[in-house]
Structure 1
């Protein structure tokens, strides 16, 4: 709800994610990606209305009560690297203290081995050992991101949701973080990465889901998306074309507000392929939700 109005922040979203697989969810800010992640973990505001089904390890998550989610799902079965890590770190406790508690609770490590386990968890996320006794307000954005990543990786959860995990990191640390997250999937766990960084997505993803105005408009393999034949939805093709190493041509206009979506195809006002047919909202057919899907963009 926004100002007493019902906002369809995410709608008609459907995908599966197998163990050992990484799905990258990409799109511009305000398209509903983080809202979707919050819905999966039951972290939406109290006035949110949620319909549908989310199944993980045979458990239906959308109908699970808060106690079940807090005690048996979050952290243990589904890990989260949050989009705003500083807001998720306890402000009155050091990083070391928070890592110690998380390691103890999720792994059962004995007290005598906790220090070594904490050091290993920090190293895994490239968090510097000499910063472990700092409080969250003493960390830069990049350090807070690495602290949150270290906490999320501790339990080796069967599913990890990483929401903009490379924000605030330099390229070397981006590469290291992407490598560690990829190892999480390669060890037989599911990985959902929400990112603006298409270069990181290309390195880590098995499949790519492109989100626009609260809907998935393309869902395809990473090899097809980044290589040949290339993306089929004009918006997805525009995201790639905007990269400096590609055409460096931005998509004209801005995404619509989720409480003021146009009728029909939400991308039509920004699309040079739009016709009268786009007054009807296209369904996701095959890999693409578009009346005028592209063919062989990179062929």
Structure 2
């Protein structure tokens, strides 16, 4: 709710994410990417409402098939049934999901750090809470997590207010890696980092996925997404409008949705041409295609909301013959 009005912050978010896979969720600021992550962890405001299902499998995620709304997680012999995150109560989320089954690198890390505790204290307490590490070994495990996240050892005894934005981001990444959770949600994990640290952080997150874990990378940094993603999901105005293999998305034949192509064309190494216009307010979305007012391919057909077909929600996808 906003100002007494209902706002559909995310709609039609339908995708699978398998163990060992990185899905990069990209799009302009305000399109709903972080809201989606918050919904999965039960961290939305109290007046927010959700519907649908978000199933967290107890074992490895599904492989093969249609990745957009394809197979659903299911329990095998001897496994617990999949947990519906949207239906789970706060006790379940707090005790068995957050940190243990789903790790989070938050978009605003400073807000998630306790101001009266050092980074080292945060790390060691997280090791104690999430792992069976003996007390005498917790310090070493905490320092190893900091090293994985490129957090300098000489800053471990600093408090959050003594950290730059980039250091706070790296501290949050180290905390998220400790639990070795089967699913990691990384919400803009490279904000405030220089290119070398962006690449190092992205590579460490990729190693997490390569270890058999799932990674949802929420980012506006298309270079980082290209470096580590297996698939790319593009969100616009609260809706996923394209899902594609990363090799095809960043290579040939490229994105099918005009908005996705516009994101790539805005990169300095490409045409460096911004997407014209501004995204619509989520509280005032048009009935048809939300991107139509900014799209050179729009036609009368775009007055109707497009279905998600062949990997894109568009009446006139790129690579198709225009009607």
Q: Does TM-score exceed 0.5, indicating one fold?
A: yes
Q: What CA deviation, in whole Å up to 9, does each residue of 1:252-292 have, x standing for no partner?
A: 11111110112200000100111110000101112000000
After TM superposition, give the deviation of residue 13 of structure 1 in Å: 1.1
Q: Secondary structure at the match of 1:216?
A: strand
Alpha-carbon deviation of 1:149? 0.1
Task: Give the aligned partner of residue 215 of structure 1.
Answer: 239
How far apart, CA to CA, are the structure 2 residues paired with 1:52 and 1:278? 26
1:1-299 correspondence to structure 2 within 5 Å = 1-57=1-57, 58-295=82-319
Q: Secondary structure at the match of 2:308?
A: coil
> Which sections of structure 1, spanning at least 5 residues, go unmatched?
none
SS in 2 for 1:193: strand
- What is the CA–CA distance in structure 2 between the aligned matches of 1:127 and 1:210, rounded to whole Å? 30
Residues in 2 aligned to 1:114 and 1:237: alpha-carbon distance in whole angstroms: 47
SS of 2:25's equivalent in the other structure is: strand
Cα offset, 1:162, TM superposition: 0.2
Structure 2: give runs of 5+ residues left out of the alignment: 58-81
How does the TM-score come out when normalised to structure 1?
A: 0.98
Once the two structures are superposed, residues 152-195 of structure 1 have per-residue CA deviations (whole angstroms, 9 ceiling, x without a partner) of 00011000000000000011101110110000000110000000
Per the TM alignment, residue 105 of structure 1 is displaced from its structure 2 partner at its CA by 1.2
Q: Give the superposition deviation at 1:121.
A: 1.0
In 1, distance between residues paired with 2:139 and 2:93? Answer: 28
By how many angstroms is 1:86 displaced?
0.5
Matched residue SS, 1:162:
strand
- Aligned residue-pair number: 296
TM-score for both structures, normalised by structure 2: 0.91
- Supply the distance in 1 between the matched residues of 2:279 and 2:176 (Cα, whole angstroms): 31
Looking at structure 1, the residues matched to 283 and 137 of structure 2 have their Cα atoms a distance apart, in angstroms, of: 51
Structure 1 stretches of 4+ moved >6 Å: none
1:107 Cα deviation (Å)?
1.3
The CA deviation at 1:130 is 0.9
> 1:9, 1:286 → 2: CA distance?
24
CA distance in 1, matches of 2:232, 2:36: 15
Q: Summarize deviations over 1:206-239 as a string: whole Å, max 9, x none.
A: 0000000000000110011001110010000000
Can you list the C-alpha shifts for 1:17-38, whole angstroms capped at 9, x where unaligned?
0000000000000100000000
The farther-off stretch of 112-121 and 204-213 is 112-121
Distance in 2 (CA, whole Å) between partners of 1:82 and 1:23 is 17
